[in-house]
Structure 1
Amino acid sequence: MQRLLYFLPILFLAACDFESEVADRSNASWQNIEKDLQTALIMASDGDTINIPEGYFKFTKSLLLDEKSNIVFKGAGIDRTVLSFKNQQEGAEGLKIADCKNILLEGFTIEDAAGDNIKVTDTDGITFRKVKAQWTGKVSEKNGAYALYPVLCKNVLIENCIAIGSSDAGIYVGQSDSVIIRNNEAYQNVAGIESENSNFVEIYENIAINNTGGILVFDLPGLTQYGENIKVYNNVVKENNHRNFAPEGNIVGVVPPGTGIMLLATRNVEVYKNEIRDNRSAGIAIISYELVAAISEEETEEANEEQAGSAQRVNSNYDLDKNYNPFPWEISIHSNVIKNDKWFATFQHDFGLLFNYTYPFNPPDIIFDGFIAEGKSPKDILCIDQKDVHFVNLDAPNELENMNENLDEFVCD
């Protein structure tokens, strides 16, 4: 399949992004507790609580916690205990936790790590509670990929947290099982909240505003497991129109600015009772990896040669994973409020240009790329119990030749 949409005219308007700076620390009084805190992490016995006092603390190396159980890592509260890695010289993560069990992180702000602010791997039982993770200043592709990043974990709880400025996903869970993401806030990330190749995930009562994409549910090839059984409900997903500042070649780089919720090549996902407003490209997008590979083909090879960091990349050889299904299926969408008071789709992406050209003054509420796996019916792929939406089938397998607004074949009870 050829690269799509190169023929579209460049329209006469250019979108202006809302950009804000966060967390000016220029007047902070910094203290150095680096050696003492790392020693406490090393010497902690199972069941210990590590208390960090109120104040501003700077670090030059990653903090490490390995092979511990039942540890509480606790500050005095968000923006009262601040851990800064702005001058980090060693390591990629701010706080890295590995091979642990039953860890609680609570009550602090962590910011400006060279890579991910907090990475947790191979851990059974990890709770993030009232943690703020961010990059200060204007957003940049040089920001770390993930603010909160549990991967290869079980029994994950992320609640009452705030994520700002990630060049990939603010709140992310990957290749994990039994996950709850609730009552969080995500601003000015490429992806506000993302579940990737994870099972039994509930994402609810979160706020995602001014990201490129509000909430993403992705399934990618070549990883340790595939994801399913995911519920996305009771979230506010609003004005996610931020420019996409992901490094070239990263998978989230394909997300058009103005995307509320995106479901990529995943299965058994229910999206319901969300408030989805003023996302300028689409309220909900359902796409296949076939489309991702097609629109990324020209850029992927060069970008992969420069691969770095923890973020997932576009995989042009996804078909080598014989167990991977690049098509979404068993997607249920119902009982959402999807509204868009913006007259124009985004002008920052080919799909936005397409929608402005084809459906002027009426950006779509739900888009489907049109790829249907062999042997599947439209309702096997997508079940929509909402008739009051502007639906667009891109017909991407046929180079957009029969792009249409026919919702009927996807409507079900």
Structure 2
Amino acid sequence: MKKLFFILLILNFAGCTSNEEVADRSQVNWQSIEKDLQSALILAEEGDTINIPGGYFKFEKSLLMDDKQNVVIAGAGMDETILSFKNQNEGAEGLKISQCKNITLVDFTVEDAAGDNIKVSDTDGITFRRLRAQWTGEVSETNGAYALYPVLCKNVLIEECIAIGSSDAGIYVGQSDSVIIRNNEAYRNVAGIESENSNFVEVYGNKAINNTGGILIFDLPGLTQYGEHIKVYDNLIQENNHRNFAPAGNIVGVVPPGTGLMILATRNVEVFNNQIIDNRTVGAAIVSYELVAAISEEEAVEADETQAGSAERINSDYELDENYNPHVGNIYFHDNNFQNSKWFATFQHDFGKLFNFKSPFNPPDIVFDGFMEAERSPAEILCIQEKQKLVFINLDAPNDLEDLNENIAPFVCD
């Protein structure tokens, strides 16, 4: 018979804030339900709902759930049920779920985990709905890498969630298949939303605002699978001009502040009907892993000796992965709205300085690094079909920027 776990505690409420702001917790009456909630996760049977009431609850260890099917973990609302791991002294994740099937997480907040706030791995069927995952206080490279972190999963749905303050990506999906990321909000992360080495992904209806980079579509070497067939549409990608606070050596550390969208070494990506507004350095950047490895080699070697964590690192030995293609292909832009009222690209990154020199007072809408496979035409690699006149830069990176130019014609397609 379907069981219901109730944890009956007094509701405490300290007031709501706007989505990007983090509530003041100084006057909160914190309570502990750690043992009861962990027991509920261990004892849950198929079809159970674990209900967490409203209140402010502190945890010192990770919450773990393994090998469960058809379980719902439900709070009273993201502003009512707050799970804090600020004083965590054991484990890295706040909530960690692995090797499960058909799990739903809904209506609560997880904040300030030592590592990732919510990590789900090796799970077929995972829904994140109306969750807030955040780090409170000023952003820092010591913040966890990922707020919401499904990896090695299938049939992933992330909707109506809020992610704040991640030192890598707020909403991240890695090495997963059949993914929908819709109607979420991401603020003050290094990457607002990121799809990495994942297949059949749709990213739509989201707001990525005030991150370093709004939306990233990456394909990296040395992982369990490669990614393609991505659609990015109907998103608001606005004012992603936050400083980059990723730890040294992390792959997202290469993202210049002021980047709306970045596509790295991925194939079969369609980008359409997005509002790409006031990202001061570049609206959209399309780059090869060869460029990333070249500009990051010294930093990566230094960082690899001292850094560790869940975030993906720069791999200077990417050529050892014989099945990996470091170049982009079949990238299609159409019917987007690019706007930029900013006069200067960032001065915190070499590419921002370059754009200020080559395109003064008019930062580019689309930048392509120029790495192309010889057997393919430019429009087969990057196809641009926009109605408005764009500021476009081809870096000609393979030739050390010798023929950097603004000629968009080879990439315009029918």
Relative to the length of structure 1, the TM-score reads 0.95
Q: Structure 2: how far apart are the matches of 1:255 and 1:47?
A: 43
**C-alpha contact 1:105 1:127 (8 A) present in aligned 2:** yes
Q: Structure 1: how far apart are the matches of 2:374 and 2:383?
A: 17
- Equivalent in the alignment of 1:336: 336
**C-alpha contact 1:121 1:153 (8 A) present in aligned 2:** yes
**CA deviation digits over 1:163-213, x for unaligned, max 9?**
000000000000000000000000000000000000000000000000000
**CA deviation digits over 1:207-264, x for unaligned, max 9?**
0000000000000000000000000000000000000000000000000000000000
Alignment: residue pair count = 394
- Equivalent in the alignment of 1:390: 391
- Which stretch shows the higher mean deviation, 380-389 or 51-60? 380-389
- Equivalent in the alignment of 2:401: 400
**CA deviation digits over 1:357-377, x for unaligned, max 9?**
111101000000000023121
Q: Does 1:263 align with 2:278?
A: no
Matched to 1:385, the amino acid is Q
Matched to 1:149, the amino acid is Y
Q: Structure 1: how far apart are the matches of 2:53 and 2:150?
A: 25
Q: Structure 1: how far apart are the matches of 2:222 and 2:98?
A: 22
Matches within 5 A, 1:12-411: 22-386=22-386, 388-411=389-412
Where does the alignment leave 5 or more consecutive residues of structure 2 unmatched?
Answer: 1-19
> In the TM superposition, what is the alpha-carbon distance from 1:354 to its structure 2 partner?
0.6
Q: Percent identity?
A: 75
> In the TM superposition, what is the alpha-carbon distance from 1:274 to its structure 2 partner?
0.1
Partner SS for 2:269: strand
Higher relative contact order (CA 8 A, sep 6+): 1
Q: Structure 1: how far apart are the matches of 2:83 and 2:147?
A: 13
Matched to 2:178, the amino acid is S
Q: Structure 2: how far apart are the matches of 1:271 and 1:119?
A: 28
Q: Structure 1: how far apart are the matches of 2:365 and 2:317?
A: 32
**CA deviation digits over 1:31-74, x for unaligned, max 9?**
00000000000011111000000000000000000000000000
> In the TM superposition, what is the alpha-carbon distance from 1:347 to its structure 2 partner?
1.1
Q: Structure 1: how far apart are the matches of 2:401 and 2:285?
A: 16
Matched to 2:398, the amino acid is P
Q: Structure 1: how far apart are the matches of 2:55 and 2:249?
A: 38
Q: Structure 1: how far apart are the matches of 2:94 and 2:210?
A: 25
> In the TM superposition, what is the alpha-carbon distance from 1:23 to its structure 2 partner?
2.5
> In the TM superposition, what is the alpha-carbon distance from 1:302 to its structure 2 partner?
1.2
Matched to 2:363, the amino acid is P
- Equivalent in the alignment of 1:17: none
**CA deviation digits over 1:361-407, x for unaligned, max 9?**
01000000000023121111100002511110011111111100000
> In the TM superposition, what is the alpha-carbon distance from 1:307 to its structure 2 partner?
3.0
Q: Structure 2: how far apart are the matches of 1:264 and 1:306?
A: 26
Where does the alignment leave 5 or more consecutive residues of structure 1 unmatched?
Answer: 1-19
For the aligned residues, what is the CA RMSD?
Answer: 0.8
Matched to 2:390, the amino acid is V
Q: Structure 1: how far apart are the matches of 2:348 and 2:27?
A: 36
> In the TM superposition, what is the alpha-carbon distance from 1:21 to its structure 2 partner?
6.2
**C-alpha contact 1:261 1:283 (8 A) present in aligned 2:** yes
Matched to 2:336, the amino acid is N
**C-alpha contact 1:24 1:137 (8 A) present in aligned 2:** no
Matched to 1:392, the amino acid is I
Partner SS for 1:31: coil
Relative to the length of structure 2, the TM-score reads 0.94
Partner SS for 1:241: coil
> In the TM superposition, what is the alpha-carbon distance from 1:272 to its structure 2 partner?
0.3
Partner SS for 2:56: strand
Q: Structure 1: how far apart are the matches of 2:24 and 2:366?
A: 38
